[in-house]
Amino acid sequence: MLDTHARKYVQPSIEYTSKRLTRLGLSANQVTVIAFLLGIIAAGVYAVGYPILGVVLLWVSGFLDAVDGTMARQTKPSAFGTVMDITFDRIVEIAIIFAVAYLHPEAMWPLLLLSGSIIFSMTVFLTVGAISEKQGIKSFYYQAGAAERTEGFILFSIMMLFPSIVGWTTLLFFVIEVYTAIQRFMEAKKILS
């Protein structure tokens, strides 16, 4: 929801950063890799006991993940870049979930439920994007939903910074992901029927 509706407020900083990185000679795919590595490092830093630094690195990773798409659209988008971007996003999410599970094994069941809900939601999202004839500014149809990447990062941040409520936060994240998956599934029925 925030990625869709609040993007206009952060887009100027995303475009500015995109232009600066392009002038430095970086490609969109290189920024995708940097964002990916920062996300993996965020999980590792968190797992060894630095939650604030982990959250900061996660958000920098997320910001660069938005920048790479803008760079691609301003230069030369590639189909492989899209695949790499979506794949790396999921790996970062998995790494954060593993890091939280490592530090909070008592939250294993909620984290497993969350992982399943992300798989469910992303399956609907990617399938609709792949077979839909609708086009957006991205390289495939981007189906908005209650939980998009920003909401995920907010909930991951709460999980990482407030360990006493990690189980409840994870369950809330699970419910929002399932709701989003159902929301996208119902929209798919309308647009694909």
Catalytic residue IDs: 89
Q: What is the DSSP letter of 24?
A: T
What is the rounded (10 degree) CA torsion for 33, 38, 42, 44?
70
**Crossing angle for the helix pair 7-23 and 51-74, nearest 10 degrees?**
80
Can you tell me the distance from the alpha carbon of 37 to that of 31, in angstroms, rounded to the nearest whole number?
A: 10
Asked whether the beta carbons of 156 and 115 are under 8 A apart, the reply is: no
What tokens does 168 get? 């409840």
Can you tell me the distance from the alpha carbon of 40 to that of 94, in angstroms, rounded to the nearest whole number?
A: 9
Q: What is the DSSP letter of 75?
A: S
Strands (E), the chain: none
Can you tell me the distance from the alpha carbon of 92 to that of 46, in angstroms, rounded to the nearest whole number?
A: 13
Q: In sequence order, what are the residues at sequence separation of 6 or more whose Cβ sits closer than 8 angstroms to the Cβ of residue 108?
A: 101
